[in-house]
Amino acid sequence: MKRNKPRQNIIKAFNAAIEGVIYTFKYERNMKIHYVIAVVVLLISLFLNLSRVEMMILLLSISLVIVSEMFNTAVENAVDLTTNEIHPLAKIAKDVAAGGVLIASLNAVAVGYLIFYDKFMHLSQSVIVSIRKSDPHVTLICIVLVLISVVVVKALTSTGTPLQGGMPSGHAALAFALATSITMIIENPIVSALGYIMAILVAQSRIEGKIHTFWETVAGALLGILVAMLVFQIKIFNFY
């Protein structure tokens, strides 16, 4: 039992952290806006030939805005917990936290302008190149969108914990999204079949471990496949 305790503590820590992410999305209106903008920006980046550095800066900027909003939420709740009256210091704490979100958002806008301006100017020339060279970026965006979709659905259904149980199975969604990405990138039926076999094994392990029900796992698998197909279809449509 003592050997399993550190592992259980780690799982509880991850559950608590992801529950914080779900809480902010579920109860904070601004966080919903941030997620929508993040999804739109990631979808737009599919049409552009972003370098690894540009993609890294873009993801860091998105993460900075979301993390800042989460800290803002934490500060607001902590202040409301410790005082029942309107205190000047409480207002300062909330204003400073909100100011951090504002700076992070302005930074994201500046980064978006610097990255996308020239890309939009040369969009007609870069589309074909992006199809040929940005498959790893497409896969990364697919993974991010799948994870965001899982967070959204879990927040709406409010079942299970972030890493165990609930609708849908995040592990199944990610596994089938990766298998679909492999199928779209590598035109080899054997490799594709192996990818889906691995995804099925992941889904089966969630069911066998009684972490998810059959339908929660199926829902996760369908979510992963649909998101991956949507991302790659957008890429292909943009090519034509």
How many CB atoms are located within 10 Å of the residue 109 CB? Answer: 13
Inter-axis angle of helices 52-82 and 29-45, nearest 10: 180
Residue showing tokens 């503590």: 9
Give Cβ neighbours of residue 100 (< 8 Å, ≥ 6 apart).
68, 71, 72
How many CB atoms are located within 10 Å of the residue 85 CB? Answer: 5
Peptide bond into 6 cis (omega under 30): no
Any catalytic annotation for residue 85?
no
Residue of 54, 69, 85, 216 marked active site: 69
Report helix, strand and coil shares of the chain as percent, to nearest 5.
85, 0, 15
8 Å CB contact between 43 and 137: no
Please state whether 144 falls in left (phi above 0), alpha (psi between -120 and 50) or beta. Answer: alpha
8 Å CB contact between 124 and 239: no
Measured distance CA(99)–CA(52) in Å, rounded? 30
Q: Annotated catalytic sites, by residue?
A: 69
